[in-house]
Amino acid sequence: MRDIVTAQEMKDLDRNTIENAGVLSLVLMERAALKTVEEMKKRWKQEDREKVLVVCGSGNNGGDGLAIARLLHLQGISVSFYFPGKEEKMTPETAKQMEIARNYEVPQVHNLNPGEYTTIVDAIFGVGLARPVEGIYAQILRELNQASAFKVAVDLPSGIDADNGQELGTAFRADLTVTFAFRKRGLCFYPGRMYAGEVVVADIGIYKDSGYPVFVHSVEQNDLSLLPERVPYGNKGTFGKVLLVAGSPGMCGAAYLSAAAALKCSAGMVKIQTVEENRIPLQTLLPEAMITCEFDESANQKMMDWCDVLVIGPGLGVSGQSRERAQWFLMRAAMCGKPVVLDADGLNLLSVHEDWRRFLGRNVIITPHLGEMSRLCGSSIGEIQKTLIRTAVNYAKETGAICVLKDACTVVADETGETCLNLSGNAGMATAGSGDVLSGVLAGILCMFLSAEKKLSPVLTAALGVYVHGAAGDKAAETVGERGMTARDIIRFLPEVLAQAGREQ
């Protein structure tokens, strides 16, 4: 897993490296510049290197930029730097870099003409910006964005909030962002992630320290090695039995997608408890699944005893019968501690029956999208978008459940504050049924760990499921494109993603 930091966490780790490890700030600055130049040159086309402009601020981000300009100048590349601020406001490190740049006769320009350059490097603000960009700096960023040059951001695109990715008035639109030591949260959330372009995390000698904990992480492909191997002597019962309480009249598609995803994610057996109208369509669409339309105390208890994992909600509806079905199974699961994925109409019912919160706990994964989260917590969608991590953590703390708050960057959080951000997936997954597929994927991942010797934390288990879902969407996009992707395309590529787990070990 990768650590994801806030601006303050980054400053603390940077200061710790300087004050406690004894690494000089100018040394870190030099390393940052070397790494940025290295990554730029890896991606440059011949025409990109013809004429370079580095725009520098008065903070340490500007010092990085001045060092970048000097390194390029000494390599014989036509480069100039532009400094729009007041020199008396420079940090000591940036003032020193200015002195060095002038000693090496790095050209400085005093009139900004972005259209003249083939590469533009943004080293204006970095992670230190905490207020909207206004005045001359807003004008500069607008002019830089209009240029057709290859654009590089140093650490973070200027004008992007380092913690939530929001645009602070106006922001630099980069093709490449070279960020140092750790990825910043603002490079995970939109629009910051979009403004950053390709993101490279460069090692410059700042490392994690036990005295400065980082609470947010991201799952990567090599973390698929955490998924347990499939026991060679197992049977269909060994690999987990999933019960879906799903579907209502005219709504069998969600049940099908969730059940199919669970089967493609290694679940040994899947049973769908649904209404009679859905029996024939579901048996036709998914003959591998068992269908039951019984709903009474005796039948429910048999199903409850049979299953290992429950999925409650896809296509369930919010009728009186749907409410009874959801409540019965959610309550019984709470009593015996069986894992539950609560999704879709299960969440809609939860939002109008707050007393159901007593059935939630660490055995329950809730998977709200922004609209469902708004109904659950009472905040507007706009407020939630600006506070995704805090919203997910707070709801997890209030209920004890694992909160999978779905968005372009999905947040997975538990009651302790442990949080994972998901960086897999793409815009093509914003399609009907994608969420139903996720609920089935999560059920399948939960089944994998039922008999595993090594257990993971509930939040990491859920985060792996979210990553697998997004990675399957990425493979689908490579084949069918984002515009034509459907939920079934995501299901199609789940086995290919899971096959990589063994290769990474």
Secondary element (H or E) of residue 72: helix 60-74
- pLDDT profile of the chain (505 residues), mean per 10: 95 94 96 98 95 98 98 98 96 98 98 96 93 96 98 98 96 98 97 98 92 92 94 88 96 97 97 97 97 96 97 97 97 97 98 96 97 97 96 98 98 97 98 98 97 92 98 97 97 95 53
Are 290 and 307 a contacting pair, CB within 8 Å?
Answer: no
Are 462 and 392 a contacting pair, CB within 8 Å?
Answer: no
* Predicted pLDDT at 502: 56
Length of the chain: 505
* Predicted pLDDT at 232: 87
* Predicted pLDDT at 505: 40
DSSP 176: E
Question: For residue 262, which of 36, 441, 483 has the smallest C-alpha distance?
Answer: 441
Interatomic CA distance for residues 270 and 311, integer angstroms? 10
DSSP 411: E
Interatomic CA distance for residues 393 and 402, integer angstroms? 9
Identity of the amino acid at 409: C
Question: For residue 192, which of 202, 214, 177, 180 has the smallest C-alpha distance?
Answer: 177
Tokens representing residue 449 in the block = 């760990």
Interatomic CA distance for residues 122 and 143, integer angstroms? 12
Q: What is the DSSP string of 248-273?
A: BTTB-HHHHHHHHHHHHTT-SEEEEE
Q: What is the pTM (predicted TM-score) of this model?
A: 0.94
- Taking CA atoms, 410 is separated from 262, 267, 421, 424, in Å, by 20, 24, 6, 9
DSSP 236: T
CA torsion through residues 16, 19, 25, 30, sign: negative
Count of other CB atoms within 10 angstroms of residue 63: 33
Are 156 and 187 a contacting pair, CB within 8 Å?
Answer: yes
Identity of the amino acid at 126: G
Are 192 and 160 a contacting pair, CB within 8 Å?
Answer: yes
CA torsion through residues 490, 494, 495, 501, sign: positive
What does residue 421 show for φ and ψ, rounded to 5 degrees?
A: -105, 140
What does residue 33 show for φ and ψ, rounded to 5 degrees?
A: -65, -45
Are 291 and 259 a contacting pair, CB within 8 Å?
Answer: no
